[in-house]
A and B are shown apart, each in its own frame.
Chain A
Amino acid sequence: MKPTIRILITQNFVMAASIARSKSSPANRIAVQDVEVPVSIGPNTEWQNLIQAVNDTMDQLGSPGTAVSLIIPSSWCFLCHLDTLAKRPDPVAMSYEMEEILPVPLELVTTAFAVREEGVIGIAVETEVLGKLLTGLEGRGAGVANVCVDVLVASAIANAQSASETTVLDVGRSASIEFNHETEHCIHVRNRIGCNCVAGPVSESTADCKPLRDDSIFFDLRTRPLPECDAAADTNEENIGAKALVAANLDQMDVPDLRVGPLAHENRFADMYRLVSQLAVLGIVLCSILWARGFGQQKSLQRQSDDLRHEQAEIYRGVFPEGTVPRNPATRLASERKRIEVLATTDSAGPAPTAANQPLDDLGAFVRAIPDDVRILANEILVDARQFSLRGHTASHRDAERIADAIGAVNGLNVGSPRTSRLKSGGVEFSLKGRRDRANP
């Protein structure tokens, strides 16, 4: 997003100006708000006042909730000069080189690099610390498009004007580029030579600092400009100040942007990703609850299964008191039932049920059936499941027929007519045959 407002943060004020998109249209409006800006920043820095001041300046400009270009004090950053001969230095390699100079781990900072003829200027700012400011500004509706460092903006302006040296004054800076030993509180950016990282604090003396050379540019950020003046109207060549920074056309300059890497602007899908994350976490929690519940159910089902198995074993032992319970007692019992069933019952698969002593019973029935007044001498009696035969002697043909009729009256027998032959010695020899009735065995 193209920023429409540039905001400069110095030690004792915040300045906002609408960005000039071309040389012919300079910045028209400027808003300034006094605020105490921390010289250095850390995890405990309170940003509320600064954020409020930024919003107030934007409100004064009448452009709330717009994209801004932010210029931060170099005292918030670590700056150093890196010696490299490569024409296109690798940012990753330069980061590792910078890590040796930084007082904090590389993973905790966001780095950017300004490539100059004399070398590379490396900038590093603590990601989490500055991130809080950016998040706070965006939470108030000011989208931060890019973040630049004041000394490098000043350096770029001076470079564009072919200045040999650039001096930026801002009392109270704690970390900076190169120490000017003549004026202890001066911060000196050398365009041609570069700069070195310094670890110690700068004196808070308010003594003036003169330009070191005739062709150097002098930026005095101590002076709070009047809002009604613009940069073009400022004729003090020795005191360009804050207006020059906010009015600079950074599109034409090589100014490193710290809104990269971990501090990069969130894309429009960030909210969607957060929502997806929250839903996924909710899903994980629900699944965990389901899993725990399922675990309990599994235990309960296992107990029921064990109880059933125990009951099956008891039933098995009730039938087979001796011996061990097999792995599948149900199959064993079913097999045993079928075995006993076919041996003990007389179902349709078995032979026709008959008395074990049927032939003798039949013989007894025949004898009882024969009339008392009939004399018979039995020679052979044959009885089985299907038939019977009787051969013997009687007194007459009539008696033979009476015997046949009597036996035929026995239930379940079909008796044919007797075959008789008269004997010379008297009497009749007869033979009688019959079949068992299938319907009444």
Chain B
Amino acid sequence: MQIPENALRRLRDPKPRALTAIAVFAVVLSFVWFQHRSLATTRRSLQASASKLTRMKSDAHQIIELQSRPQRAVDREKPNAELLAQVEAALSESNIPRELWQDSIPQPTQRAKGSDYLRVATRLEFEGVTIRQIVVFTQALLQDDPTLSIQSLRVQNRTKRSGSIGGETTWSVEMTIGYFMYDLDGNDQKAQS
């Protein structure tokens, strides 16, 4: 861009030269000011990133440590078929005849009192099993899935159907197994307080 000669000559006068210098100084100063703001923003961002990194290190350490612990709850409801498959697998593992398992009845989901967890349960009914068989069965079941727990146990000696296996008394057993599901939503319609 060619600067007009008139403009250049006008700059010989002190006043236009002073005004031009002030204008250029103002422009350069504004550049420096914007740069200063940008630097301040970048520094703040860097500090935030450094804090974030520290938190990330802590979170990663905790995650690895928590991953080594047995899981005590689940974050979504298991399909009923999955639970029944687990029961069948435990029966097979503990050499319990399948026919001894009479029924499985899903129970109403309840919220564990004063917590963010829901209790999801299924009642299993066995007939003519010994205590030993029940113990072996529960061990196999819980070993395969540490989130499961025995919530209640009813052992009945029904005179009409009592018997023995290998000299041991057999029982009618109702076992409620279940797991805890983490649920922050308090409006779960299945839950009963």
Partners in one complex: yes
Interface of B is mostly: helix
Distance of A170 from chain B, by nearest CB (Å): 32
Per a CB cutoff under 8 Å, which of B56, B119, B134, B150 touches A312?
B56
Cα distance A375–B150 when bound, in Å? Answer: 28
Task: Check A301–B55 contact: CB distance below 8 A.
Answer: no
Cα distance A294–B71 when bound, in Å? Answer: 52
Instruction: Please indicate the chain B residues that have their CB under 8 angstroms from the CB of A266 in the complex.
Output: 14
Q: Is residue B124 contacting chain A, with contact meaning CB distance below 8 A?
A: no
Task: Check B14–A273 contact: CB distance below 8 A.
Answer: yes
Instruction: Please indicate the chain B residues that have their CB under 8 angstroms from the CB of A334 in the complex.
Output: 55, 59
Cα distance A379–B155 when bound, in Å? Answer: 8
Per a CB cutoff under 8 Å, which of A269, A337, A378 touches B62?
A337
Interface of A is mostly: helix
Distance of A199 from chain B, by nearest CB (Å): 25
**A-B contacts, CB under 8 A, total:** 205
Task: Check A273–B31 contact: CB distance below 8 A.
Answer: no
Q: Is residue B185 contacting chain A, with contact meaning CB distance below 8 A?
A: no
Q: Is residue A104 contacting chain B, with contact meaning CB distance below 8 A?
A: no
Known A304-B46, A358-B150; contact A284-B25, beta-carbon cutoff 8 A: yes
Distance of A126 from chain B, by nearest CB (Å): 13
Task: Check B150–A297 contact: CB distance below 8 A.
Answer: no
Cα distance A359–B131 when bound, in Å? Answer: 12
Q: Is residue A360 contacting chain B, with contact meaning CB distance below 8 A?
A: yes
Q: Is residue B105 contacting chain A, with contact meaning CB distance below 8 A?
A: no
Cα distance A329–B59 when bound, in Å? Answer: 11
Scan residues 356-393 of chain A and give those whose CB is less than 8 A from a CB of chain B.
Answer: 356-360, 363, 377-385, 392
Q: Is residue B164 contacting chain A, with contact meaning CB distance below 8 A?
A: no
Question: Which A residues contact B (CB, under 8 angstroms)?
Answer: 107, 262, 266, 269-271, 273-274, 276-277, 280-281, 283-284, 287-288, 290-291, 294-295, 297-298, 301-302, 304-305, 308-309, 311-312, 315-316, 318-319, 329-330, 333-334, 336-337, 339-346, 349-352, 354-360, 363, 377-385, 392
Question: Which B residues contact A (CB, under 8 angstroms)?
Answer: 5-6, 9, 12-15, 17-18, 21-22, 24-25, 28-29, 31-32, 35-36, 38-39, 42-43, 45-46, 49-50, 52-53, 55-57, 59-60, 62-64, 66-67, 69-75, 112, 115-117, 119, 131, 134-135, 138-139, 142, 146, 148-157, 175-176, 180, 182
- 15 pairs, CB–CB < 8 Å, chain A vs chain B: A262-B9, A269-B14, A280-B21, A305-B49, A308-B49, A308-B53, A312-B49, A319-B64, A333-B59, A336-B63, A340-B67, A351-B119, A354-B149, A360-B153, A384-B153
